[in-house]
Amino acid sequence: MNRRSLILFVLSTVLAFGALAAPTSQERADWSRFFAEAEAQGTIVVLDNRNGKDVAFVYDAERAARRYSPASTFKIPHSLFALDAGILRDEFQVIPWDGIKRSTEAWNEDQNLRSAMRNSTVWVYERFARQLGDAREIEYMRKIAYGNAVAEGSKPFWVEGDLAISANEQISFLGHLYRNELPFRVEHQRLVKDVMVNEAGRDWILRAKTGWSGKIGWWVGWVEWPTGPVFFALNIDTPNRLNDLSKRQEITRNILRSIKALPPS
């Protein structure tokens, strides 16, 4: 692809995927208490589409526009790439363990798509990355306007490398996935959404994925209600490393409950 074609391709992609960008967000300075209670610094973007109306909220709009390593939240689009490329057939295909013992016990066995997403099994996605190659990874990311769409730097590039995405961009990506509007087969998009299910109630479903780069912690996803979805993307600093990880869900759940987007605990 020559330079002119590349520019036209990128512009067309941005135009195609800009339609679901969040509307002008209402700054929620009052949400600072949820971060303060957890002793955390971060941002959250919430796009409430219940009753067919987009209402966007943000805490720390400047940070919400700043790009960070997506870490394991990249497993959402990465799963789509592997399915589209034929590396992965379905959620039942066994992905053989390589026999290397790792610190997370759940990783030390054969996996499938569902367990790899649930356990955030890094070696599975490192294998996908090797099979796809950097050039194809970049092509896929550009197709969906995913952050800065780079596969450079240390590996895995979505944790240690230069790939970066903002909370605002996470919301846009999730909105397209929810509506099956990404440039992938609808059955693949539905499958990835199925393996994202965290929990559900009588009339709601929570689909989400955590991520941690070592410095930044993420929780992104949405809650489905009969009246429509509520999307969220949170990232926080994690100076206390593992001790900070529970704060990702704690803060997000408290905020979602405050707007009745999740039932009381």
The C-alpha atoms of residue 240 and residue 229 are separated, in whole angstroms, by: 33
The C-alpha atoms of residue 148 and residue 142 are separated, in whole angstroms, by: 8
Residues labelled as active-site residues: 72
Nearest to 44 by CA among 25, 57, 54: 57
Nearest to 158 by CA among 93, 68, 220: 68
